[in-house]
Structure 1
Amino acid sequence: MSRPTVAGVARAAGVSVASVSRVLNGLPATEEMVGRVQRAVEELGYVPDARARSLKVGRTFQLTLAVADVGNPVYVTMMRAVEEVVSAAGYRLVVTTTGPDVADEVALVRGMARGYADGLVISPLRVDDDLIKSIRECDVPVVVAGNVPASAGVDTIRANSPKGMLLAVEHLLQKGRRRIAFLNGPRDTVPGTARAKGFAEAMKANGLRPVAEVEAADFTFAAGREAGRELLSGLGAGSNRADARGVAPGDRGRAGVAGGPAAKRRRSAPDAVIAANDLLAVGLMHELAAVGLEVPRDVAVVGMDDSELAEQSFPPLTSVNLGSAERGRRAAELLLARIDDDTRTPRRIVVQPTLSVRRSTP
């Protein structure tokens, strides 16, 4: 059986081929004409030839979303939001992983010249001059979901991480927690830099100093467990709760454990930890449980991103919502607007955070 064609749709609808083309391409047409064409399309099972359409209009009708780790729940949320917007505009979304290396991010942006997509939303984990240069010179429109200098001259959408950290710190203070530690991801990354800065500012604004700061190797669950072990490295595997609550803080930058009597350690032990994302927070909670510490009774824990994982963890995790769905939606809208008019002034949008309180804080 031959594949239905535009000409066949036109005959079935009783209109011209040009009229069918107008309706299929979303151009102005009367309601009657649109109805007739749509009925004919459904009756015949007509599917537009994407290859022919691409050659005719000079577009692939595909857009790319590039993230560091497609397994991270926050990127899944962003992906769904981007896909919803671009599919409504007639585009297919292709999702790819850049990994943590900025060189791979640069290679992906430069590879857009091959013409397999009409635009790119990229959420870079690391940013350097080469990446900014490649974005500026890219053959297709690019929107950055992250923080790049205004001088880059590109559309950007980012979260207000410092404000999110302030929400987390103030929430813990309201709950009576003052010995607050921070579990960050790599500080040379975009989120690591922003969240470290925000944590320092929030603590200073409230007249506090952190009892410990730990830098995890990555923003993953496994890295959170490892960093949690480092934070709790003064505990033996069989420590009881009384001993476990005596963990002492280490030096800024890497966690360690100071010696001394148990009473002294208890006075300086963290009674709360803020993690730079939910994966790190859940990894930490596993380590706390392993040494007999209860969340939130012994240590309150706050994550960031407010991903699906926050609700699925046990106990459910209090987390700063950095608007990943909103950032995805706005990034997609910025990209479509840029495709429509490449001469428009670049926009820099900041999405404000909220706090989702759950049982990991008392």
Structure 2
Amino acid sequence: MPRATITQVAALAGVSIASASRALNGQIASAETVEKVRRAAAELGYVADAAARSLKLGRTQQLAYAVADIGNPVYVEMMSAVERVVAASGYRLVISSTGTASSTLDVVRDLGRGYVDGMILSPLRVTPELLDALTDVPVPVVVLGSVPGGSALDTVQADSRTGMSLVVNHLVEEGRQTLVFINGPVDTTPGRLRLQGFEDAVRAHPGIRSRTVTADDFTIASGYRAARDVLDDARTPRPDAIVAANDLIGIGVMHAADDLGWTVPYDLAITGMDNTELAQVARLGLTSIDLGAEERGRVAADLLLARIADPHRAAHTVTVAPSLVVRGSSLNGAAALDGAASLRAVEEKDAG
């Protein structure tokens, strides 16, 4: 069956070819014309020639989303928000995984190949080489994360430092006195900022004992190994709370505590950061700091589309405020007893 043409679509809709083209390409056209043209295109099974459309508009209609670990649930949440925004504007989203600083640099340099019209980049490490590459890219880039001051880049930032203050204050209010912070690698942006936030937060409570342990990575397995070392170490004060740098590490801590016979939250309170779906479904629920992943993704997509529309606009930096989401893993006293009783009741009902 011959492929339907724009001429046939225009004839069926009762408009000119130029009007049909404008309606299908998202250019200026009345709502009535757009509706008639789209209805005609659907009836005829018309499919636009993407290559021809790209040549005509001077764009690929593709945007890139590049993150360190596409399996991390916080990146997935941001990606979903980005995709919703850009798809509504007619763009496809191309996903790239950038596990190392060198691969991040390669992805940015590849932007010169012209395969996308712009990129949202969430780098774990911001090196001088990466900053230099970002100043020379031929397409707009929005950075999800912090960059050194003075960089003329659109950025969307989480406020990890305030988030750490919220969680430490919560643990102190729950009567916790000996806190261990299990961080990820400190040479990463989140590792550095979350460490600074934790140190600032504990300084505000002079009577609190604290120390920091660095896990190999921001993963469940790394969190598990680091927590076993902490909880097995009889040479240091017994902690009554562990603050994890993200939810993945926090889940690893919960598993390690369970394997070693520590009762959460009575013996040990545990908190995470990012408020991912994992924190919601974990046994008892993992108290976590919500850093607004969905909002950060949405804002980053809006900034990128605005930059594409106006390449000369001033650079914008947006910081999304954090919030504390309290669940059973950090409660103390009667609240913890009530939570545990409710969980047992649910488990017994499921077993019956």
TM-score, normalised by the number of residues in structure 1: 0.89
Cα distance change on mapping 1:56 and 1:28 into 2, 3 Å: closer
Contact kept in structure 2, 1:212 and 1:270, CA below 8 Å: no
CA distance in 1, matches of 2:42, 2:232: 65
Contact kept in structure 2, 1:123 and 1:145, CA below 8 Å: yes
1:343 to 301, 308, 312: 312
CA distance in 1, matches of 2:124, 2:255: 26
Deviation at 1:31, TM superposition (A): 3.4
CA distance in 2, matches of 1:187, 1:208: 26
CA distance in 2, matches of 1:37, 1:87: 20
One-letter code aligned to 1:32:
E
Is 1:270 equivalent to 2:236 in the alignment? no
* Stretch deviating more after TM superposition (181-190 or 11-20): 11-20
Is 1:76 equivalent to 2:96 in the alignment? no
Contact kept in structure 2, 1:211 and 1:269, CA below 8 Å: no
Is 1:176 equivalent to 2:175 in the alignment? yes
Q: SS of the residue aligned with 1:15?
A: coil
Deviation at 1:38, TM superposition (A): 1.8
Q: SS of the residue aligned with 2:275?
A: coil
Q: SS of the residue aligned with 2:181?
A: strand
One-letter code aligned to 2:5:
T
CA distance in 1, matches of 2:260, 2:130: 43
Q: How does 1:108-123 map to 2 (within 5 A)?
A: 108-123=107-122
Counterpart in the other structure of 1:143: 142
Q: In the TM superposition, what whole-angstrom CA distance separates every residue of 1:221-277 from its partner, at most 9, and x where no partner exists? A: 11111111221233xxxxxxxxxxxxx5xxxxxxxx34xxxxxxxxx3110111000
Counterpart in the other structure of 2:349: none
Identical-residue share of aligned pairs (%) = 51
Query: Which consecutive unaligned segments of at least 5 residues does structure 2 have?
Result: 332-352
Cα distance change on mapping 1:345 and 1:63 into 2, 3 Å: same
Counterpart in the other structure of 1:49: 49
One-letter code aligned to 1:328:
G
Contact kept in structure 1, 2:73 and 2:276, CA below 8 Å: yes
Cα distance change on mapping 1:287 and 1:16 into 2, 3 Å: same
Counterpart in the other structure of 1:295: 264
Is 1:321 equivalent to 2:283 in the alignment? no
Counterpart in the other structure of 2:153: 154
CA distance in 1, matches of 2:185, 2:157: 18
Counterpart in the other structure of 1:107: 106
CA distance in 1, matches of 2:282, 2:249: 12
CA distance in 2, matches of 1:125, 1:205: 28
Contact kept in structure 1, 2:168 and 2:201, CA below 8 Å: yes
Is 1:39 equivalent to 2:39 in the alignment? yes
One-letter code aligned to 2:164:
M
Deviation at 1:209, TM superposition (A): 4.8
Deviation at 1:32, TM superposition (A): 3.1
Q: How does 1:117-132 map to 2 (within 5 A)?
A: 117-132=116-131
CA distance in 2, matches of 1:208, 1:150: 35
CA distance in 2, matches of 1:66, 1:31: 35
Query: Which consecutive unaligned segments of at least 5 residues does structure 1 have?
Result: 235-247, 249-256, 259-267
Contact kept in structure 2, 1:162 and 1:195, CA below 8 Å: yes
Q: How does 1:154-233 map to 2 (within 5 A)?
A: 154-233=153-232
Contact kept in structure 1, 2:202 and 2:210, CA below 8 Å: no
Cα distance change on mapping 1:205 and 1:211 into 2, 3 Å: closer
Q: SS of the residue aligned with 1:177?
A: coil
* Stretch deviating more after TM superposition (214-223 or 32-41): 32-41
CA distance in 1, matches of 2:191, 2:30: 54
Deviation at 1:25, TM superposition (A): 1.8
Contact kept in structure 2, 1:182 and 1:210, CA below 8 Å: no
Q: SS of the residue aligned with 1:211?
A: strand
Counterpart in the other structure of 2:274: 305
Contact kept in structure 2, 1:161 and 1:194, CA below 8 Å: yes
Counterpart in the other structure of 2:254: 285
Deviation at 1:314, TM superposition (A): 1.2
Counterpart in the other structure of 2:343: none
Alignment root-mean-square deviation, CA: 1.1
CA distance in 2, matches of 1:208, 1:51: 66
Q: SS of the residue aligned with 1:143?
A: strand
One-letter code aligned to 1:62:
Q
Deviation at 1:178, TM superposition (A): 1.6
Contact kept in structure 2, 1:187 and 1:215, CA below 8 Å: yes
One-letter code aligned to 1:271:
D
Q: In the TM superposition, what whole-angstrom CA distance separates every residue of 1:12-63 from its partner, at most 9, and x where no partner exists? A: 1121110101111222223332232122012112121111111111111000
CA distance in 1, matches of 2:33, 2:221: 58
Q: SS of the residue aligned with 1:203?
A: helix
Q: In the TM superposition, what whole-angstrom CA distance separates every residue of 1:291-320 from its partner, at most 9, and x where no partner exists? A: 100111110001000000101111210000
CA distance in 2, matches of 1:17, 1:29: 12
One-letter code aligned to 1:228:
A
- How many residues in Structure 1 have an aligned counterpart in Structure 2? 331
CA distance in 1, matches of 2:282, 2:59: 43
One-letter code aligned to 2:63:
L
Contact kept in structure 2, 1:74 and 1:305, CA below 8 Å: yes
One-letter code aligned to 1:109:
V
Deviation at 1:208, TM superposition (A): 4.3
Counterpart in the other structure of 1:241: none
Cα distance change on mapping 1:154 and 1:206 into 2, 3 Å: same
One-letter code aligned to 1:89:
S
One-letter code aligned to 1:61:
Q
